[in-house]
Amino acid sequence: MIKDYQRDKSLRSAYDLCIVGAGPAGITLALRLAQAGWRVALLEGGGHEFTPRSQQLYTCTSTGLEMYAHETRLRYLGGTSNHWAGRCRPFTASDFAVPPPVDVPGWPISYSDIEPYLAGAMDIVDLPQGAQFHAINEGLDGGEFEADRFLLSPPTRFAQKYASALEDTPGLDVFINCNCVDLLFDEGAGRLQAVLVSDYDGKRQQVKARNYILAMGAIENARQLLNSGSLAAAGVMRKDGLTGRCFMEHLNIDMGTFILKSGEGTDPRQYFTTDAFVAEYQAGKGNVQAAVLADVQTYGRTAEVKHFLENLACEMGVSSKIEFVAKFSCPGDGVISTLIEQFPNAQSRISLLDERDELGVAKVNVNWVLSDHDRHTIKCIGSELAKQFAATGLGFVKLNDFVYDTSLPLKLSPHAHHMGTTRMAASAETGVVDADCKVFGTDNLYVAGSSVFATGGASNPTMPLLQFALRLAEHLDQKLRLQHGAAA
Ligand SMILES: Cc1cc2nc3c(=O)[nH]c(=O)nc-3n(C[C@H](O)[C@H](O)[C@H](O)COP(=O)(O)OP(=O)(O)OC[C@H]3O[C@@H](n4cnc5c(N)ncnc54)[C@H](O)[C@@H]3O)c2cc1C
């Protein structure tokens, strides 16, 4: 049943599971675990619809590259799935098998650990059963770029699709307008003893459960862990620890422009780096999209405009003066955008500020920064793509200067794919959660969502994070059954 915590505070005295955050990860976990017969509390900070009051609790500062963290995330039932685009591409075996060429390790698990949950995750986002991730074009010949393979979810809006399941599933209590403001850790027992919640009038109450899952998105998962005084006092959250660090995005680089050879058509093309490319260049993975600009198309073939301008410039001897016009037409027919892997980097991080939000939770700063490794990836992908376009006779690419001159500032935008801030690792020295998504140093605190990603690859994160959520639901179901059996 969905209850509005602002008016109705009828919490049970104890739950088997308390899940904080009702986006794709939280909703998936809550439904699976309640359907398995457990008593589940799903706590959502926002209401049924967007409100400025809830959304402003996401406000944070930014000291690195701008990533619009409070505009892109949505803080209400369904989370950011209320405006996600639905592009789905799974991780591949190499994402897990090949460690990143940086000083933090890759995944402590293998692809075969999450592959069994792919069909379930596809079903959740309404991809047809058995559908193949297919390509919309051929790859490029040189072996560096294959055709990208993906599927589009309708896109699934989790609050709408799962509304009746959230309302009707026995054992599930969904509380909206119920904000997590603290995590209360019992150092002696090594267990979280409660989640402290607040309504919008500041009325606070403890929610108690046997197990807790944070599913608030990568920035808030780290924020709540760092904000907890009891976790810090117990040494579970350490100043030199990795919580909040290794924040990763997918990089949308304005690579430049291209001119397609005539007869190549104007359909968008999507390419993806091959494993051979990644191995040869010690670079990250990347999707490259080449699309024809709509506004250029409305001017007809640019070749004709260019021809006219060239003649005019020659006749009048004013070529430099009309350079800006020529420049408009010269770059060609289209633009190249990307979805490129960022390697984990401890300097790219979420950290707490002294200032608190209206409910008393410390605000955060996001310092999203790239490393030389990322500039190397961008340069390799850009220059190899340009070579391949020419070599295959597809057309000509004009790269922006900053792609190959790594001393120049980049022109890029984020994809709102926040990852890595509670990274999975084999030990607390290199991560925040273990292979079961349990926070190191605790017995009953888990994390769901792309904050657990050890590396982000160049696949869209939502379907893969659902694979992890399904795997975590299975793990917790087994854990609870074992405890239940032992107690009986
Ligand atoms: C414009 C846009 C397009 C995108 N397109 C794609 C795409 O095509 N493909 C793709 O794979 N991904 C895409 N994404 C990313 C996708 O939206 C996220 O990966 C996904 O929503 C993450 O799910 P989540 O459940 O981990 O977190 P969220 O969806 O962020 O949900 C977190 C939930 O926690 C709640 N919450 C936060 N703080 C608290 C608190 N203190 N107490 C209680 N509740 C709290 C929030 O209200 C929210 O409901 C896109 C994102 C944006 C912004």
pLDDT in tens, 82-112: 999 999 999 999 999 999 999 999 999 999 9
Residue 192 has pLDDT above 70, yes or no: yes
| 406 lies in some domain | no
Centre of ligand 1 from the C-alpha of residue 235, in Å? 29
Q: What is the pLDDT of residue 264?
A: 65
Atom of ligand 1 nearest to the CA of 155: 8
Centre of ligand 1 from the C-alpha of residue 6, in Å? 23
Strand, coil or helix: 435? coil
Across the range 6-11, mean pLDDT stands at: 96
Centre of ligand 1 from the C-alpha of residue 229, in Å? 26
pLDDT band at 259, cuts 50/70/90? confident
| 362 lies in some domain | yes
Distance CA 326, CA 324 (A): 5
What is the CATH number for 184?
3.50.50.60
65-69, 232-236, 267-271, 306-310 — which is least confidently predicted? 306-310
Residue 390 has pLDDT above 70, yes or no: yes
Across the range 196-208, mean pLDDT stands at: 98
166-170, 205-209, 389-393 — which is least confidently predicted? 389-393
Atom of ligand 1 nearest to the CA of 78: 49
Residue 226 has pLDDT above 50, yes or no: yes
| 439 lies in some domain | yes
Structure-model confidence comparison of residues 34 and 72, the more confident one:
34
Structure-model confidence comparison of residues 185 and 486, the more confident one:
185
| 287 lies in some domain | no
Across the range 139-144, mean pLDDT stands at: 88
Q: What is the pLDDT of residue 293?
A: 62
Most confident of 14-23, 131-140, 295-304: 14-23
Centre of ligand 1 from the C-alpha of residue 312, in Å? 53
| 333 lies in some domain | no
Instruction: Identify the residues whose C-beta falls under 6 Å from ligand 1.
Output: 20-26, 43-46, 72-73, 75-76, 79-81, 83-87, 179-180, 215-217, 220, 416-417, 449-450, 460-462, 465
Residue to mutate (ligand 1; options 2, 462, 463; most atoms within 8 A of CB)? 462
- The backbone region for 44, taken as left when phi is positive above 0, alpha when psi lies in -120 to 50, beta otherwise, is beta
Q: Whose CA is nearest to atom 39 of ligand 1?
A: 45
Centre of ligand 1 from the C-alpha of residue 116, in Å? 23
Of 348, 353, 349, 451, the residue nearest 60 (C-alpha): 353
pLDDT band at 263, cuts 50/70/90? low
Centre of ligand 1 from the C-alpha of residue 420, in Å? 14
Q: What is the pLDDT of residue 311?
A: 57
391: buried, middle or exposed (CB in 10 Å: 19+, 13-18, 0-12)? exposed
Percent of the chain with pLDDT over 70: 90
Report the domain count for the chain.
1
| 254 lies in some domain | no
Centre of ligand 1 from the C-alpha of residue 391, in Å? 41
| 58 lies in some domain | yes
Q: In which element (H, E) is residue 382 found?
A: helix 372-391
Query: pLDDT tens across 306-340, in order?
Result: 455 555 555 555 554 444 344 443 434 688 899 99
Range of the domain at 199: 2-129+154-249+346-370+418-487
Centre of ligand 1 from the C-alpha of residue 79, in Å? 5
Q: Whose CA is nearest to atom 18 of ligand 1?
A: 462
Q: Whose CA is nearest to atom 35 of ligand 1?
A: 21
Answer yes or no: are the C-beta atoms of 41 and 17 closer than 8 Å: yes
Centre of ligand 1 from the C-alpha of residue 272, in Å? 25
Q: What is the mean pLDDT of the chain?
A: 91
pLDDT band at 262, cuts 50/70/90? low
Atom of ligand 1 nearest to the CA of 21: 34
Amino acid identity of 376? H
Write the secondary structure of 360-379 as one string of H (helix), E (strand) and C (coil).
CCEEEEEECCCCHHHHHHHH
Atom of ligand 1 nearest to the CA of 465: 26
pLDDT band at 301, cuts 50/70/90? very low
Query: pLDDT tens across 268-294, in order?
Result: 889 999 999 999 999 999 999 988 765
| 297 lies in some domain | no
Residue 188, C-beta contacts closer than 8 angstroms, at least 6 positions apart = none
Q: Whose CA is nearest to atom 47 of ligand 1?
A: 75
Q: What global pTM score does this model have?
A: 0.93
Residue to mutate (ligand 1; options 216, 225, 252, 421; most atoms within 8 A of CB)? 216
